[in-house]
Amino acid sequence: RLPLFQAAGKKNSSNLLSLNEADLKEQFVRGDGPGGQATNKTSNCVVLKHIPTGIVIKCHQTRSVEQNRKIAREILQEKVDLFYKGEDSDVFKEKKAAEKKKQEKKRRARENLERKKHFKEMQESDGK
């Protein structure tokens, strides 16, 4: 079972709950992590808080404040959708489907590896 907030990613779902700008508190802070002077001198990290739920998003994916604002809103919209809809949210369903697909791929790869190993053992025993 996935924790609900881990399911928010970068999927585009059309029927997410919409955000009301009046419910948002936006701040611009200095980002952290690699980047040196470009990171340390500019306040292009966006901190977005959804006041009714208390969900906080910190976005510093690009150097552009405008792009970070846009990305932060998309991520916040997905998290708010998950908060209110829970497992009925499209974001959760997409994440769950992707996880299932990944597990199936791993299982097939493991089976294939076992088949190859068995085949190799058969060839070695026939050669002796």
Q: What is the pLDDT of residue 128?
A: 63
23 and 81 fall within a common domain: yes
The confidence score (pLDDT) of residue 31 equals 83
Query: Does one domain contain both 24 and 62?
Result: yes
- Asked if pLDDT for residue 89 goes beyond 80, the answer is no
Report yes or no on 8 lying in a domain.
no
Same domain, 29 and 60: yes
What range does the domain containing 23 cover? Answer: 19-86
Question: Which DSSP helix (H) or strand (E) runs through 102?
Answer: helix 90-127
**Domain assignment of residue 79, yes or no:** yes
> What span, in angstroms and rounded, lies between the C-alpha atoms of 82 and 37?
36
pLDDT the model gives residue 10: 46
Which tops the pLDDT comparison, 17 or 112?
112
pLDDT at position 14: 57
104 with 70, same domain: the answer is no
- Percentage of the chain exceeding pLDDT 90: 44
- Structural domain count of the chain: 2
CATH number at residue 56: 3.30.160.20
